[in-house]
Each structure stands twice: as C-alpha cells, then as structure tokens.
Structure 1
C-alpha cells in the first residue's frame, strides 16, 4: 500500500513529464542521445559536477531514448523518497504504524525542497535525496545485526545517491550520523569504515576526472554570495530553511511560496514535525537524525550571513574542490530523514484521536499548503520538443566530431519552444564532440565566472569577427548559432529558422586519461549492479534448496531405499 501511495505522489508531481518530449528546464537537460564524450567523463576545463550521471545517461541512451531515461530516473527518485521515508518511519518508530508511514511518505515528497529543486532542474540531486532514508535504514540494520544483506543495501544506496557529487555527500553524511545509534551488530568504527569506503568508491568518477583534467578552480568562490540561501516572504532565512525552502534563485520557487502564504505553509510543515517530535525523540535511533536535521538548518543559515559568506569564500579559495558547498540551501536535504521520523510521530501525539484520522489530517494539510507542487509545479516542469533542425545539426557534428563553438556566448539560453525559463545549452549533451563553454553565469545582474578559459579565448575571437583560419588555428571545427538571425563569414553546413551550423575544420587533440576515468566510472557502476545481483542469486539458491528439501520430504520411504 505504501509503495503505491508513494508512487501516486511522485506521479502527481511529475505528470506533465509523462507526455512525449524532453526535460529541459534551467539545469535539467535531456536529449535523445548522449555520448561518452570527454565532457561526459569530466575531461574538460569545467569542474566535474555532472558525474557520473552523464556517464549513466550516455550508456542508457544507447538503448533507450535519453529523454525517457532522465524522466524515469526523476520519477523513481521521488518514489524512493516517499517509500523510503515510510520504511525509515517503520524501522525507527514502529508504534506509529501505517498512519505514521503515510505521513512520513507525504512529508518526504510534498515539500518546498522538492518543488524548488525541480524548478531549478536538479533531477539527479532529487534521486540522491530519495536515497537518504534508504541509506539510514540500511545503516541502522547494519548496526542492529551484521548481515551481508544490510551491507549490500548500504553500498547500493550510497552508490545510487552518488549519481551526483552532492547526493553522495548527503548520503555519506546520513550514513555517518546513523553510526552513532547503539546496536549489537557491526561495530561503530566498522560501520563508519564501510560507509565512508563506499562513498570513496562512488566518488571515484569525479575525483579521478578532476585529478586527470586538473579542472578544479577557486573561481567558484566568487559565486558564494549569489548562491546563499534566501529568506521567503514573511520569514527569515533560518525559518525559511527550517520549512525546507529558501533556494537562492527566486525564480525557481512555486507561486504559493512567493507570497505571505509561505508563512502559513511553513507553520503547517513545522507544526506536523513539532507535533511528533517528543515521540520521536524518545527513540534512540531517531536522535542522530533529529540532531542532523537541526544542523542541516542552522549551518546553511549561518552560511548566508556576511561572516558565513566570507568564511565559505576563504575555504573554497584554499580548497577549490569544495566549490560544491557554495549552494547552501541544498544541504537542507539532510533534514529530511529526521523530519519524516518526527512527522510519523505526529499520529501518536493526540491519544484521544484515532491514528487514521490524525494521519489523514496531517497528509491533507501538507498537500494543501503546497498545492502548486502538483502537475509539474503548476505546469512549469513539463516535456518539450526540439525543433527538427537540432537533430540534423547534431547528426552532422557526430559524423565529424570536431570541437564546437557556440553562439550566443552565455551558458544559459532562452528558446521560445522551451518555455519562459532559461535553460542550459543542450548541445554539449547531444554530440560526441567537445562543445566549448565558458561556464559563466548571470545571477542577479552580476557575472559568476566559469572555468572555461579556452572557450573564453574562442568566444572573444567570434565576437571580434575572426576569420575561418583564425578559428581553425584555435582548434574550432564547427560554429553553431542557436538562433536563426546571426550571420558569420563562414561556410554554412546547415541553417533554418532555429539553428545554423558553420563548418570551420579545425581540430584539437583528444583529452588524455580516458582509460583511467572510465575505469573509475565502471567501479561506481559495479556498486549498483553487484549487490542486487548477489541478492537475487542468494534468493534463487535459497529457493532451489527449499524446493529440493520439500521434494525429498515428499518421497516415500520405500522409494528412498
């Protein structure tokens, strides 16, 4: 019943994506086909932020449409969040029963964090978000009684959360917190070693890519202030974060959270959590999750203050690899496991009210105060169709995969056919070739520079009207103008009203280190394949043993002789 309910919630949120088309919204990019290009393996100037998700999508899209792959992963991620929250509630607070599990599932899926990250296009982060309660359950099982099943589950869920670096760090943190729970199973230190060891293996794709490409840059420190958490109407930053809102981008916020109604919505969510907090706090297994939830709210709030911004900037300049922490609000995801356990406890708070009635009111209230999460956050998260010219241009480039320069120069685009919101350039994920991009972002009227120095040189050449020979000497093979109104003095390979492709003919050497980076990705993929395979094999062997035993019991004594 709970898995079906969680799936219903996930489908209610993502319903528009069930239509044909592709998810293309801000940071979310899906294309019919992706490839194991240098960029997909993190072998470019940009920090490897999209590993190993680009690797997985490239593999999967060789057999299935890439748009379907991304949409399925997103839906599964939200489904896992709801189902896993119910499993965690059942494990930590069993007396809450089915009613508590329904509240936990609702709170995990129907909240501002999910809405805002959907609007920002962070589909892979939501997959990691959905793995967090499963990581907690697996670690609690391992602490309670050591077993290969629990160990395999922990490795699998940490690996799946590692679809993106942020998801991996969230999962590793939840696993480490759950180590503190008392138990008679695997010791604390061994559990910690298993969790961190699994996290290191899952991190190999982006750690290896960053080391091989030497792509870490302290330029990310310049964007810390722009990415700080933001107070919602009528709420301070701390309370906004406590209500699982407060994303830095005010455009990636559902309409109901952009008004004073956010006060009511936050009060309801925190009210459900506070109602069940006493019951949850009495359970030792819940205490580390509740403490983690408090830390996950307070620390991002502190990061959004003047001293906090300065501290994070200094930290990233000293350790450029920590640029991943600058988006402070995304770490509020760590509050979800503690919140869902407390939410489940709400059904125990009102002893004179039937559990089913309390659960129904809590679930209905959580949904009612965020009505526009339904139907793709009010229709803003939907499937789009690419104009036919894009497929033609991608095919021409893939036939001769030479480096590609793109106009306009910004990393984000606005296409009439893709809706009102800006989107990342889809071309880098649709072609085999290296697509040059500076990675510069325009946020609040200021430019946050990216790491693409080579792309910046080529961009200057294009804007200054450089000829074909100059562009070829700079290693440019193609120039793509993602609109129909530009005119360059270059040979035209294809043009229509939406896109124009110019042939230049320059080339650049392939990136080194593909073999070692691919090996790191395969090691991560093994984390997803080996535990389920081992579990399935164990079940099959157990079934055969039981069948043989039953068969022997059914043989008559005479026949046995």
Structure 2
C-alpha cells in the first residue's frame, strides 16, 4: 500500500508539490520540442546520410574523418592561426572517432545547451519559445552555416548563455566559444559586460593561448581591404542589414530570400527588441554598431592593416555577434501588456517575435541543403612529408561546390596562403611556398628534400620527390611541440567545469 501522509499539512504540501511538478512539465515540454524542431531544420542536412565515407564539405567547412595533426593545426603553420584550436582538436578526435561525426554531434549538443540557456531569459512559455527562436534561428547563424563557419555558429549560440549562466555551465560555454579566435574574443567581451568574478575572466583569457601565442610570435601579414566590410541586402541598406544580423560578405552563401527584401523583416525585429534589452547589452550593441560604422565609413582598410588584432574583425559581419545576446534576452522579456483582463497581450509580443524570426528566413530549409555531406576522395591521403600544392591557391571545386582544399586537412600541405578577391591581392603568398615553387620549376630536388617536401601536387597529379633521407619528415619547427602543449592546456581546461559541477553537486547533497 502507498504511504499516506501523517497529517493534513503533509497532504497539502504533497498536493502543492504535485501541482508544481505539473507546471514544470508544462514549461519544459514545449521549449524542448521547439528547440528540437529548429535544430532539425538547421542541422538536418548534416545527417542526410549515415555513411562513414562522407565528410562535411561546404565552403570553409572541410571536416574529414581523420584530419592530420600538422604544424598548421596547432597554429604554427605558414598561414595565420585562424583555425586553432579547432583543427588541433579535430586531429586528436580523429584518432578516436570520425571527426566529421564529432562535429555533427557537437553542433546538436551545443544547440540544445544554447536553447536551454536562452529559455532562462523568459518567464512564460511563449517568452521562452521566443528567446530560443532568436538564439538558434537568425540570419547570422544561417549565413555562417552556409559559409561553413561551424565553430563561429557555436559561439553565436553560446554568447547568450555566457550572459545568463553561472558556474560550470558558464565555463563550458566559454571553453566552447574559444574553438575559434573570434568566438574567444567575443565571449570575453560579453563576459566582461556581466562584471564577473576575476576567475572567470582568467579562465577565458587562458583559452586564447593556442592562437594568441602563435600570432604574437609570427604576426599575420594582411593588407588592408574593404572587401569584407558591410554588405547591403535588398531593401534594408548596409546598416539595416547589419542590425538585422545579416550581410555576410559572400553573397553566394546567403538564402535567396535575402535578395527579395526579407532582410527588412530582420531589421524590424531588431527595432522592436532593442527597447526590451538590458541596459548593458544595449551599450554593447551600440558599441558593436559604432565599430561596424567605423570600418564601413571610416579608414577601415588602414585600421585593419595597422592596429594589431583588428584583422580579426576585418570581416565586419562578425561584429553582429555582439547584438545576439541582447536580442535573445529582449525576446525573453518582451510583453505588450500585463493586465489580467488583457492577458493575451502579454503573449502577443513573443508570438510576434517568433513569427518575424521565421518569416525573415522563409527559404532557410532549402538553402541549408547545401550542407549535405559529400563522399571522401581517395586522393586525400596522408604523406610522409609536406606536399606542395601548385594546382590551386587553397580553393577547389568538388561536386559543384567551391571549398577549401581538403588535401590541406588530410596531410601537411605547403600552400600559397595568398588571398585574391577581384584580382586584388589581400594576403600575400608565404615565402616558403615561393621558395619551394622555384625549386620545383628548376628541378632542384635536393632543396625540396631539405625543406621536408616529399611530393608536389600539379596538374591534378601527385609527383613524388626522390630523397636520400628515408623516411622524409614533414616540416616541423621547434614550435610544433609548443603548439601541442598549448592545445593540451586548452583541452585540459575542459576538466575545470567538471570540477565545478562535482563541487556544486556535492554542496546540494549536503544541503
């Protein structure tokens, strides 16, 4: 027989607890379902095939199953450390499981964590749904997914969590944001807006080490340019597009609806939400907008070329990251009325936010089909030494998609590293590549062997270099070990949130 309460007071307490549990179930149920639906729309194409012989190949997103641990992967390659520590992490993960599947599962897990964090911004179920929608499904996220910036999408999803969360969840969000240098800097700035404890700021700064130290030792060479600055979408203008979280420089990586005036809906949504932002986040958004205007209308090219670290945001669309936390919190607080007799008005604001968010990107599910995985080529194999890539300047056309050369992820590749847009040289080629190219043209194989080069890729053919040194080793300076140490420290940081979580759990048990 079930145990009966010992008194009437116990019966009332049990009834109250039962009612409270019912309320919690009602609050959790719809946000969870809505989060899963949005993530299916955004990430569903990544799971369109379950084959292990496929990889994520969309523009800048080139995630093979077993990437190589190269000098570039740890931030000390011939090119700037833009993909550190994510490439180092994927190379290590590739020894345990297919790295492409790790990224897919990571995106899903982060999306759910971000949705749960965004839901904390709202009180009612509708406000929670609105905050989740603005967090997960916005033009910045969709455009960056189509460009292949998956780690930047993770940062965009987690920035609201950095403002809302405490303890172990906050540390997890900071650590995951630091997968990319831009995310690490953005996370630190959003964290600073909260006036947090010094230990959190120190934790965030340590996550910078894998890319900051290589950048300090070998300063990236980049010419000033305005080709990455603000781009206007139809009807919204340049500034309006930015305020609506759109305006990625690559017009080929945006949904077609953005060219049909739907960007104006995103701008309208921002105009509505700005009045409900917390004051600190209003100031943060204003600062990001001022920086965007300075790059767009001011001496942007000079700033990028002259000021150390400014090149991190030469793609000025990244500054829209700082608008996202304020918009998410505003969506969780929006209400057009509060009186009991007009109770439906308190929900209408959240409903309007959800409707505008979805209407601003009506063709996103169709556009995101470009994320479907592609089969892996047999040419992407690991070589003993470096491979000089002469066929391209870092980009190839594969199955109709223009992507970063996958060979640079499969093995240690000496590539030009230059960037040209509209016949304008933005990033010059690195000197080591020019030296290797000259040696190959003059048939100077001993020089190539001395540079650690085992093959040359030209005319879609791998030409092996006959060297007396057997086996030839890839070019690895003394900084390779330093890069491994920095990546290891960064990975070890992930244990700190676990310690925080265990301590918090122990305190609850004692209480």
Shorter-chain TM range is: 0.7 to 0.9
Matched residue, 1:329: 317
Contact 1:38 1:44 in 2 (8 A): yes
- Once the two structures are superposed, what CA deviation does each residue of 1:122-145 show, in whole Å capped at 9, x if it has no partner? 10111111221111013xxxxxxx
Unaligned runs of 5+ in 1: 139-149, 180-190, 487-498, 547-561
For residue 202 of structure 1, the aligned residue among 202, 207, 225 is: 207
Where does 1:11-50 land on structure 2 (aligned, <5 Å)? Answer: 11-18=40-47, 19-20=49-50, 21-50=54-83
- TM-score, normalised relative to structure 2: 0.85
Instruction: Please report the TM-score for the alignment, with normalisation by the length of structure 1.
Output: 0.77
Give the deviation of 1:540 after TM superposition.
Answer: 5.9
In structure 2, the partner of 1:472 is: 449
Residue 157 of structure 1 and its aligned partner are, at CA, apart by 1.9
Residue in structure 1 matching 2:222, options 217, 220, 223: 220
2:355 to 360, 364, 367: 364
| Aligned residue pairs, count | 470
Structure 1 residues 102 and 238, CA gap change in structure 2 (3 angstroms): same
Show the counterpart of 2:12.
none
2:22 paired residue number: none
Matches within 5 A, 1:493-508: 500-506=461-467, 507=472
Cα gap change, 1:311 to 1:513, in 2 (>3 Å) = closer
Query: Which shows bigger deviation, 43-52 or 508-517?
Result: 508-517
The 5 A counterparts of 1:74-473 are: 74-87=107-120, 89-90=121-122, 94=123, 97-138=124-165, 150-179=166-195, 191=196, 193-211=198-216, 214-217=217-220, 219-222=221-224, 224-259=225-260, 261-262=261-262, 265-266=263-264, 268-278=265-275, 280=276, 286-315=278-307, 319=308, 321-349=309-337, 352=342, 353-374=344-365, 377-387=367-377, 389-390=378-379, 393-394=381-382, 397=383, 401-415=384-398, 417=399, 419-420=400-401, 422-431=402-411, 434-450=412-428, 452-462=430-440, 464=441, 466=443, 468-469=445-446, 471-473=448-450
Q: Secondary structure at the match of 1:423?
A: strand
- 1:541 shift after superposition: 7.6
Secondary structure, counterpart of 1:13 in structure 2: helix
Task: Output the CA distance in 1 between the equivalents of 2:404 and 2:424.
Answer: 18
Cα distance in 2, alignment partners of residues 469 and 515 from structure 1: 26
Using the alignment, how far apart are the partners of 2:160 and 2:110 within structure 1?
12
Q: Structure 2 CA distance, aligned partners of 1:133 and 1:467?
A: 56
CA contact under 8 A between 1:76 and 1:127: conserved in structure 2? Answer: no
Q: Extract unaligned runs of 5+ from structure 2.
A: 1-28
Match of 1:347, SS?
coil
SS in 1 for 2:229: coil
| Kept in 1: contact 2:273–2:327 (CA 8 A) | no
Q: Tell me, yes or no, if the aligned pair for 2:159 and 2:325 is still in contact at 8 Å.
A: yes
Offset at residue 76 of structure 1 (A): 3.3
How far apart, in 1, do the equivalents of 2:337 and 2:483 lie? 52
Shift of 1:451: 5.5
- 1:533 positional shift: 4.1
